[in-house]
Amino acid sequence: MAMTMASLSFPSSLNKPTLSSSLLNPSKASSFLTKPSPKPKRALTISMSMEAGIGVMASKLGMMSFFEPDGTVVPVTVVGFREGNIVTQVKTLATDGYDAVQVGYRRVRDKKLTKPETGHLEKAGVIPLRHLQEFRLTSVEGFEPNQKLVFDEIFKEGDLVDVAGTTIGKGFQGGIKRHNFKRGQMTHGSKSHRALGSIGAGTTPGRVYKGKKMPGRMGGTRTKIRKLKIVKVDKELNVVMIKGALPGKPGNILRITPAKIVGVNIPKN
């Protein structure tokens, strides 16, 4: 059956060009031309962990055996103190956004420090110090710049402390030394002695999972050993004996703080 153009009918909307309502309304059209409003800036958040109390810095001297009065032998690490442990800055919530006490340790010559470091210490009236560390506290009342922190006044024998330091660097090590892997057979024709072995499947997943234990650099990282007991405080020799091993070689800088115990000096929540 033949059909002519006259017999075809089209909707009225297809014959007439239409304009969107946003183009006809000037108020809506201006919204496309204006720039979007910038997002509000996020407030500064401090991610540093809260300490149970003020701490000090010290130097590792070595290990020895300590004999208790009942004859028990206790392995201890001897920790000494150089000149320092002086408050260099007191940070408050109003000025810095959080409460913390900055402590300096180990006196050095002026030329060993940069000009910004020297100016920062001169502002507080403190002698030149090599190491600066912060101790974030719930309250900084009672602390002032150029205040000397004495270990005997902060810690007593029998107290538990957390000790942080840098471990001894071992360099690039294999899986056996780094992750305590087992080795293969050394005889019976085995050709896999200290090799790593399989690191994953083939086509599925077709990759190596993140965190796979493999050979790599070992040691030389920051670590903390918690809840160590102070065995003895020797005021004459100016040393402290702490039970157990501490990170680093003799001469390493240690950070000693009161041990965090939930429900005692740390809230349960």
pLDDT value for 1: 42
Side chain identity at residue 213, one-letter code: K
pLDDT value for 268: 75
Q: What are 155's two structure tokens?
A: 């810690």
User: Is there a contact between 46 and 98 (Cβ–Cβ < 8 Å)?
Assistant: yes
Cβ-count burial 157-184 (b if 16+ within 10 Å, e if not): eeebbbbbbbbeeeeeebbeebeebeee
The highest-level CATH class for domain 56-177+218-258 is: mainly beta
Mean pLDDT by 10-residue block, N- to C-terminus, for the chain (269 residues)? 47 49 52 62 63 92 94 95 92 91 93 94 92 91 91 91 96 95 94 91 92 95 95 93 95 94 78
pTM, two decimals, is 0.75
CA-only gyration radius of the chain, Å: 33
User: Is there a contact between 102 and 133 (Cβ–Cβ < 8 Å)?
Assistant: yes
pLDDT value for 25: 58
Q: Are strands 56-67 and 73-80 parallel, antiparallel or unpaired?
A: antiparallel
Cβ-count burial 115-144 (b if 16+ within 10 Å, e if not): eebeebbeebebebbbebbebebeebeebe
Which spans in the chain are helix H?
Answer: 12-15, 21-24, 26-33, 93-96, 115-124, 151-154, 175-179
Separation between Cα atoms, residue 156 and residue 53, nearest integer Å: 14
pLDDT value for 138: 87
pLDDT value for 216: 95
pLDDT value for 75: 96
Cα–Cα distance list, 226 to 202, 229, 256 (Å) = 42, 9, 10
